[in-house]
Structure 1
Amino acid sequence: MHRSHNVSDTNPRNHDIPGPSLDGLTGGSWSEAEKLALSCRILAREGHSETLAGQVTVRQADGSFLTTPLAHAFGEIRAQSVIRIDDSLRVLEGRGVPNPAVRFHLWVYRRRPDVNCVIHTHPPYVSALSMTGEPLQIAHMDATPFFDDCAFLPEWPGLPIADVEGEIISAALGQKRCVLLANHGFLAATPTIEESLYLSVLIERAARNQLVAQSAYGRLKLVDPALAKESHDFLLQRSIVNASFAMFARQLPQEGA
């Protein structure tokens, strides 16, 4: 069937929406440490913090990185918990030590000057999908932000605390925003905290839907590639990403960042 519509209906720039607010506080007024802390608590609420596995890092203009201290659950993180480290994992500000797995994030930052925030976790459904040996499939509208934008590393290279794992994972990511890591978890690497968090929430839900559908029917009906590309570009507009981040943040207990 022919799909007819005006150009204005399909141009994402014509669908831009106003920036979000949170009790009168615009998203832009959060510091990066506050956004990192909010992201951690959102991830905890979404089930991404079952163990000590998982890290969030944010690149700073001076070449340092914000992250969280080892042995702190995502749900515990507040802005004052955040530490700043250099590219040798030495602590420059804050208390505690970084997770040694942050080392593989540094490989991503070296290869990708466009990336300013990396999130890596092992949420339940992504972890289950990673055990099947299959990549993420684009079979639902809500998965389209990953269309041609989620790489797949089919073999687990081992615990990612050495340079070799960082080299393998960053190479598998390539120029995409995400990578599904077999027998492991996933990585989101984007220019902003908001976008990395947005994709981290969406990929767990996409993995859940894929596993449920496959368990029920054994096969998937994939989305048409042209429509998936259109949806990908629309749903990754900055205004939609930022509005989604603020929506997720509003669902947290209102106790500050």
Structure 2
Amino acid sequence: MNELLKQLAPVPQKRPLLPSLSPQAELALLCRVLYREGYSDHIAGHISYLQDDGSILVNPWELAWDELTAGDILRLDESGKVIEGGWNVTPAINLHTEIHARRSDVKVIIHNHSRYGTVWANAGRVPPIYDQTSAQVSGELKLMDEYNVTVNESSEGARCAELLGKAKWALLVNHGVLVVAKDIAQAHLRAVTLEWRARTAWEVEALGGGKPMPSDVAQGLGDMIDGNGFPFLWEAMARREIRLDASVLDD
């Protein structure tokens, strides 16, 4: 295991993997990257990014994730009120404020109706782990039957936050997915791993089923990769988005 950790450790770079990015640019890039991964239910979905001063950056309600730029990102106070930006915030922002208030370890929260994650959520089932990429994140994938009322109800945001507890991620039955993380790179890894796992499990079951990875092996992989980060992955995916449309960085 120690040798594997050494192999995963970043090596010094002769040049930066990404240009210097503002927090707003990081968030816009995360939205673009995840849209390409299946987080693409029209204008649905929101990502919050807690800042050191206690304010919260979030994508606006009106724009799809594949069209966002850094200049579109809103800044909110801790109650969810817009204090900077020219768009509106999602009515479901209470889901984010409630989790941020309870989890000092969480700086990034992702909620969306990802294509395959939502299939499993709608089925009320947790997708098995069939391959290494699906095992990149360890820990329970919680199944939360939270859709008693719409999530924009203040009571429901609090209830979701309580049900999540200390978990990293969850499937919201009849709704979508929820991912929390300490920073942008970890949020990206967890979100793409969840959707990959959901899609791969769906494909394997469509073939008639398969043999899931042994739980101890999956746990070890997830502890190593999520625990130490996946070097260079976030940067590579962000560079791709910048190559495709550099306006994502416009402020």
Q: TM-score, normalised by structure 1?
A: 0.87
- The 2-side partners of 1:88 and 1:154 are apart by 25
Q: How far has the Cα of 1:87 moved from its partner?
A: 2.4
Q: Which runs of 5+ in 2 are unaligned?
A: none
Structure-1 separation of matches of 2:13 and 2:47: 23
Gaps of 5+ in 1: 1-6
Q: How far apart, in 2, do the equivalents of 1:15 and 1:87 lie?
A: 36
The number of residue pairs the alignment matches comes to 246
**1:228 and 2:218 equivalent?**
yes
Quick one: structure 1 residues 53 and 158, their matched pair in 2 at CA, closer, same or farther if it must change by over 3 Å? farther
CA contact (8 A) 1:66 1:83 kept: yes
TM-score by length of 2: 0.89
Deviation at 1:178, TM superposition (A): 0.7
Alignment of 1:20-169 (within 5 A): 24-27=15-18, 29-169=20-160
Aligned equivalents of 1:168 and 1:198: distance in 2? Answer: 26
Counterpart of 2:175 in structure 1 is 184
CA deviations 1:99-122 (Å, max 9, x no partner) are 111211111111111000001111
Q: Once the 2 structures are TM-superposed, how far is the Cα of residue 245 of structure 1 from its aligned partner?
A: 0.8
2:137·2:193 contact (CA, 8 Å) conserved in 1? no
In structure 2, the partner of 1:247 is 236
Q: Alpha-carbon deviations, 1:9-32, whole Å to 9, x = none?
A: 35x2553123779xx444483221
| SS of match in other structure, 2:179 | strand
- Which residue type is aligned with residue 8 of structure 1? N
Work out the percentage of aligned pairs sharing the same amino acid.
26
Query: Any idea what the Cα deviations from partners look like across 1:202-223, whole Å, max 9, x if unmatched?
Result: 2111111111111221x44222
Matched-pair contact (CA < 8 Å) for 1:64–1:87: yes
Report the CA distance shift for 1:19/1:196 in structure 2 as closer, same or farther (over 3 A).
farther
Contact 2:124/2:143 (<8 A) preserved: no
Q: Cα RMSD over matched residues?
A: 2.1
- In 2, Cα distance between equivalents of 1:212 and 1:147: 21
